[in-house]
């Protein structure tokens, strides 16, 4: 279990993180969401041991990582944002170097490098100089070195940034697979991605945690649920029906029975659907207008 207790990080007079509490359990994928500059990367670098927190504690299985940072680092795998590798090395050379730095037993190194290269789809390029490879491959090498020593904790900072859609699907699959047994924290600014893979999401803004929950919980945070309704009938008939339920609707087009409706809850939505059916009005389209998570995100992170 990885626990952040009131972790703050200051750079001079700028507070990048303010008393952040975070809990990550094995087998649970924790997503860090936030606008650019919210403190996601700062959080991850601090956990990875790149720098110390200005105050607060980071506990790995109850032990403060500041007491024995090297021992803690052994248990963490880290993929940095904008992955940087030793470009003058070949892929295999690089992974071998990392395996040695990570203290893998010499007799296991080859086998493990093979295994990880296979998993990250690096077999084709294993003998090529890193400098010649595409961004997608570099990202995979970054991921490969992060999981090489089979760490208990994986910190992945925007692992899908800059990849093409096929690669994104592959990497997401890999994250899900690995995350099933590890403590996994990853950051992204793609909301759909967070909703798709995370078990729990923490939204941070300006160094503060502003929300935490499952993707569904967060999607429901914003009360407003906007729907688009289109009925193949006289607008006046539909307007009557809407009025009888006390719903405020905005007509999209005066000729057409098409409305934007804001419901207060699911009840209201069901009532309206039933009423339209009873009145025999054929519904052409009745669909949510936006993703709830996106709404929550915007509401929580808009800097007013």
Partner 1 sequence: MIINDPHAVRSISVLVKKELAGYFNSPIAYVVISVFLVIVNWLFFKPFFLVGEVSLRGFFDLLPWLLLFLAPALTMRLWAEEKKSGTFELLMTLPITTWQAVLAKFIGSFIFMLLILALTLNIPFSVASMGSLDWGPVDGGYLGAVFISLIFLAIGLFMSAMTKNQIIAFVGTLVVAFLALVAGSSFVLSGMPDLAAKILAGAGLANHYANLAKGVLDTKDFVYFFSMTFFFLWLNARVLEARKW
Contact residues for partner 1, defined by CB under 8 A? 45, 48-52, 54, 70-71, 73-74, 76, 78, 80, 82-89, 93, 97, 100-103, 145
**Rounded to 5°, angle at Cα 125 from 121 and 129:** 135
The span from the CA of 96 to the CA of 76, in Å, is: 18
Nearest one of 26, 82, 20 to 47, comparing CA atoms: 20
Q: Which is nearer to partner 1, 52 or 286 (CB)?
A: 52
In the complex, the smallest distance separating the C-beta of residue 98 from partner 1, rounded to whole angstroms, is 8
Q: Which is nearer to partner 1, 130 or 203 (CB)?
A: 130
Q: Which is nearer to partner 1, 145 or 167 (CB)?
A: 145
In the complex, the smallest distance separating the C-beta of residue 74 from partner 1, rounded to whole angstroms, is 4
What dihedral angle (degrees, nearest 10) is formed by the CA atoms of 67, 71, 74, 78?
10
Helices (H), the chain: 40-48, 69-74, 91-101, 106-119, 135-147, 165-179, 191-197, 215-219, 235-244, 266-278, 292-301
The structure tokens listed for 24 are 């990550």
Q: Which is nearer to partner 1, 109 or 290 (CB)?
A: 109
In the complex, the smallest distance separating the C-beta of residue 36 from partner 1, rounded to whole angstroms, is 18
Q: Collapsing DSSP states into helix, strand and coil, what is residue 254?
A: coil
Q: Which is nearer to partner 1, 89 or 239 (CB)?
A: 89
Q: Which is nearer to partner 1, 11 or 245 (CB)?
A: 11
In the complex, the smallest distance separating the C-beta of residue 53 from partner 1, rounded to whole angstroms, is 9
The span from the CA of 19 to the CA of 8, in Å, is: 5
Nearest one of 156, 147, 13 to 83, comparing CA atoms: 156
Handedness of CA 93, 94, 98, 99 (dihedral sign): negative
Q: Which is nearer to partner 1, 83 or 91 (CB)?
A: 83
In the complex, the smallest distance separating the C-beta of residue 125 from partner 1, rounded to whole angstroms, is 18
The structure tokens listed for 174 are 């890999």
In the complex, the smallest distance separating the C-beta of residue 58 from partner 1, rounded to whole angstroms, is 13
List b or e across 129-151, with b for residues whose CB sees 16 or more CB atoms inside 10 angstroms.
ebeebeebbbbbbbbbbbbbbeb
In the complex, the smallest distance separating the C-beta of residue 290 from partner 1, rounded to whole angstroms, is 37
């Amino acid at each position: 279990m990885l626990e952040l207790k009131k972790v703050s990080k200051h750079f001079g007079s700028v507070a990048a993180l303010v008393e952040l509490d975070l809990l990550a359990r094995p087998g649970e994928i924790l997503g860090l969401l936030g606008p650019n500059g919210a403190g996601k990367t700062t959080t991850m670098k601090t956990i990875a041991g790149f720098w110390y927190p200005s105050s607060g504690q980071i506990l790995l299985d109850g032990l403060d990582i500041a007491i024995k940072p090297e021992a803690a680092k052994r248990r963490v795998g880290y993929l940095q944002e904008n992955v940087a590798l030793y470009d003058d090395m070949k892929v295999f050379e690089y992974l071998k170097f990392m395996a040695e730095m990570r203290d893998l037993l010499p007799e296991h190194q080859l086998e493990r490098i093979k295994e990880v290269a296979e998993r990250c789809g690096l077999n084709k390029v294993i003998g090529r100089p890193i400098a010649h490879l595409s961004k997608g491959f570099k990202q995979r090498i970054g991921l490969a070195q992060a999981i090489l020593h089979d760490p208990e904790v994986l910190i992945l900072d925007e692992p899908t940034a800059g990849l093409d859609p096929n690669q994104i699907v592959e990497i997401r699959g890999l994250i899900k697979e690995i995350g099933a047994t590890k403590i996994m924290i990853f950051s992204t600014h793609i909301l759909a991605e967070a909703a798709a893979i995370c078990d729990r999401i923490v939204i941070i803004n300006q160094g503060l945690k502003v929300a935490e929950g499952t993707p569904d919980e967060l999607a429901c945070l914003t009360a407003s649920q906007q729907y688009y309704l289109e009925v193949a009938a006289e607008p006046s008939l539909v307007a009557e029906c809407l009025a009888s339920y006390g719903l405020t609707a905005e007509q999209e087009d005066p000729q057409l029975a098409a409305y934007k409706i804001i419901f207060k809850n699911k009840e209201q939505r069901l009532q309206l659907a039933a009423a339209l059916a009873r009145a025999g009005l054929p519904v052409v389209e009745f669909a949510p207008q936006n993703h709830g998570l996106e709404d929550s995100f915007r509401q929580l992170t808009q800097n007013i």
